[in-house]
Amino acid sequence: MSNSSSSKKHGQDQPELSGPTPKSHRAKMGKSEDTDKKNLGKKLKDVEISIPIVYGNIAFWLGKKASEYQSHKWTVYVRGASNEDLGAIVKRAVFQLHSSFNNPTRVVESPPFELSEAGWGEFEIVITLYFHSDVCDKPLNLYHHLKLYPEDENSSMSTKKPVVVEFYDEIVFPDPSEAFLSRVQNHPAVNVPRLPPGVTLPPPIPVEDASKRRKGDTKDHPLSQWFTNFSEADELLQLAAARQQVQAHIAKLRRQISLIDGQHHQHFKSSSDQ
Amino acid sequence: MDAKDILGLPKNSFPPLDKKSRPPKESHRKPDGISREVYALTGGLAPLMPALDPSQLKKKPPSDEKVAWQWLGITSSARKDNLHLYHWVRVVNGVPPTGDYSFAKYNKSVDITKYTNEEYEKYLTDPGWTKEETDQLFELCERFDLRFIVIADRFPSSRTVEELKERYYSVSRALLLARNPSSVDIASHPLVKEPYNISHDLERKRAMSLVLSQTRQQELRDEEVLAEAKRIAQSRISAKVSQESEMAVASNAGVEVTERTIPGETVSPLPSNAQHPSIPVSSSMSTENASTLASLRILRVYLRTYALEQMLQAASSSAGLRTIKRVEQTLQDLGVNLKPRVPTKSVCAEHLELRKEILTLLNLQKQLQYKEAEGLPFREGSYTETPGTPKHFHHGKQDRAFVPDPSFGGERTGKRDQKRKAPGRLSEAPSSPAQSKRPRKLKASDF
């Protein structure tokens, strides 16, 4: 499940989480406007950095210990999709809770970016991610509806099995700065695509405190047993199969249409089979 | 009271309830001072803005001043003739108002540079103008505050407004330059920076009058032509993204204007432009893509799901709601999530491609339908159901694009035929041969 992200070219059928762009997709990527302006000054064009993340919540019913206002203990979080440390990219995360909570604006300054609380209600949490200054000066919002109660109303709540709701998404930086790019080019949490030919990056500045960095990942997180493993392989297979079907059908229809066109031209007399 | 008895509720619960109900009721009573109907107009609530307190309006001025009115004489600095007039003046505490007549400050006039005779000899001679004429012009300019229409009217020899303007402005400009040969300040003076261009002015006025005098027909024609030009410009821009195309349109538009000045003549440059090749559909799609990508770029950071949504919106903006629903239905039939569960870059790209292909598929199906419907009148044969035939082709094709899961194929078709049998079909022409003419749904054997 480890995210091998450094510039490899992945085909469609390789079941890896990281998905750097195959050539055909790169061509679509807005190259048309900016190819002539390919200055390597501060930003590299045509290079897009993406960070796969998973965000959501895990909620445990408190069972006997539940009170009227605190029936569940829940944790809302943003983590790297392969549980890598997001701290190199995200400076801090702000979780905006329901106004009925004390200090509803909770700031988490270091990874793992998560927040635990106890309550009884489900509501929308706005997670604002602030990035380091060389990454992006604009924050990004994620919206997550806190889920405490299981989908199936009839299933009994258990204190051992939590309700887990996770979503996969990717943070995309379409025009990363050179500084950012060089800093994270080998970072496990980051997808860096193949660089355009002739472009080289300065080597990354070595991190001073390696041990400090490691703590930010969620690989050994206490709740990690409930994490969902998102693999793009299944989805890609599904899509490829669907596309094949559609393409075959399209070919058929085209044949039929040309057949009919031929028939019309002849002022066809008797009905014929295909 | 009786109700409470009937219900058996204790009677002493009534007074405390009474107290509670009164305070909320107070707020619903209308305030005094406005009639009930007027209050109801506002919806029974207080107005949003505090209204003026009418009692304020009746306030009297501070009464420690003693105000009287006197019949006094005035002189105004605006007048040059020392005329003394009289009027009522508000006198406060016995002190008449000081200062100039209050309206004198509105007597403004234009500064007109006057030249001396030497200056005229040196800089301002002009073959078309005599000195007397120029003198007269300047005198009138001063008198009438540069209102050239009036000046032109009063001018002894007949000169057009533009000629007068030109003479005046060129003289003033020359004077300015002569008097301040090396001064940098006047370089920003409007006269120096933007000299009066008589030909431009004439042209402008002519064009304006033409536009104003256009007949309704001409207006309509011009609109059509402009729309056509716009469309061609759009296609050119999308075909090759460069500035030249925009320049070409601008110059075309310019050509148009001059062409139009000859009334009744058709605009000739444009029809030649219309013969440009039509754009292939794919390039218009790539423009949409490019513009969505450009707008995403501006965000500097965004979520993959957001980007996918934007692309979907852009793609579906050209399709109707029904088409979108059909695409989504097809996706479901194919067993594909409408919103990818793992939206990586490649998954999103595949998803978009799939949607595009489904759109193509639906279009082709429609095409086929039409072609077959067209073809029917040509066909002889054992069909007796010509009036009812359109119904055949609506069989199960509208909503269910095809059967994705091969194993379902046979069952589904069977079911649908059974349903439609009663209304659509007439007795003979048994289903199997008829069905074979219709585009077949996908079955397991097809793969």
**Count of domains forming chain A:** 2
pLDDT at A143 over 50: yes
A117 lies in the same domain as A157: yes
* Full domain range(s) for residue A270: 231-274
**Whole-number mean pLDDT of chain A?**
78
A237 lies in the same domain as A226: no
pLDDT tens readout for residues A72-106:
999 999 999 888 889 989 999 999 999 999 999 99
A38 min Cα distance to partner chain B (Å)? 15
For residues B218 and B13, the model is more confident at: B218
A53 lies in the same domain as A130: yes
Interface of B with A in 275-314 (CB under 8 A): 286, 289-290, 293-294, 296-297, 299-305, 307
Q: Give A142's contacts in chain B (Cβ within 8 Å).
A: 303
Interchain CB distance below 8 Å, A19 and B347: yes
pLDDT category of residue B47 using cuts at 50, 70 and 90:
low
The fraction of chain A above a pLDDT of 90, given in percent, is: 34
A49 lies in the same domain as A133: yes
Mean pLDDT of B369-377: 79
A104 lies in the same domain as A144: yes
A246 min Cα distance to partner chain B (Å)? 7
pLDDT category of residue A15 using cuts at 50, 70 and 90:
very low
A132 lies in the same domain as A262: no
Q: What are phi and psi of B442, to 5 degrees?
A: -65, 130
pLDDT category of residue B241 using cuts at 50, 70 and 90:
low
Cβ atoms within 10 Å of B316's Cβ, excluding its own: 16
A244 lies in the same domain as A193: no
For residues B215 and A34, the model is more confident at: B215
Nearest CA in chain B to A272: B437
Chain B touched by A42 (CB under 8 Å)? no
A264 lies in the same domain as A163: no
A27 lies in the same domain as A134: yes
Question: Rounded to two decimals, what is the model's pTM?
Answer: 0.47
pLDDT in the model for residue A198: 66
Q: Give B440's contacts in chain A (Cβ within 8 Å).
A: 274
A115 lies in the same domain as A130: yes
A223 lies in the same domain as A251: no
A197 lies in the same domain as A238: no
Q: What are phi and psi of A214, to 5 degrees?
A: -65, -25
